[in-house]
Amino acid sequence: MSIETAIRSYLLTQSALTTTASTRISVQTRDQGQSLPAVVIHLIDEQHGHYLTAANTWGMARLQIDSLATTYPNAESIDVLVRNELEGMGGTTIGTSSTYVTSVIHDDRRMLPYANPKDASDVGIYGISSDYFVQFALAVSAIST
């Protein structure tokens, strides 16, 4: 299981977040016509460490997590809920494939461009985007010699 799907699996088990966002926590895309608020997880970058003779089983990923809502205060609220569940998490195993997360660090936060409604039946979307630096254990093989 990738780190982005493991984080999604973890957030889906956090009732403080799912009380508001329900199961509208996805990776990369959001279903068309899906109601709000919602959370979308993007993998920005993932790096793996190496020794001179093998991979060191340590991964470092930057995740961008967008909190989307029909009002700005609601977007802020979802962003805070996500941050409360992630920042400072570490030394724990998450996800169905038991990914061991060493640490999660909230790195930065920014406002997403407002998505204007397409017509009178549509709604505008406010968004807050936060980046998280996630360190986790990888399952890799030693380099063949």
Among 35, 49, 72, 139, binds other proteins (CB under 8 A): 49
Answer whether 130's CB lies under 8 Å from 106's CB: yes
For residue 28, report the phi and psi dihedrals to the nearest 5 degrees: 75, -45
Applying the rule CB under 8 A, the residues between 56 and 75 that interact with other proteins are 56, 58, 60
Nearest-CA neighbor of 87 among 70, 65, 58? 65
The least CB distance from residue 6 to other proteins, in Å, is: 19
Among 27, 43, 80, 105, binds other proteins (CB under 8 A): 105
Enumerate residues 6+ apart whose C-beta is below 8 A from 116. Answer: 124
**Does residue 100 belong to the site contacting other proteins (CB under 8 A)?**
no
Residues at the site binding other proteins, with contacts judged by CB under 8 A: 49-53, 56, 58, 60, 103, 105, 133, 135, 143, 145
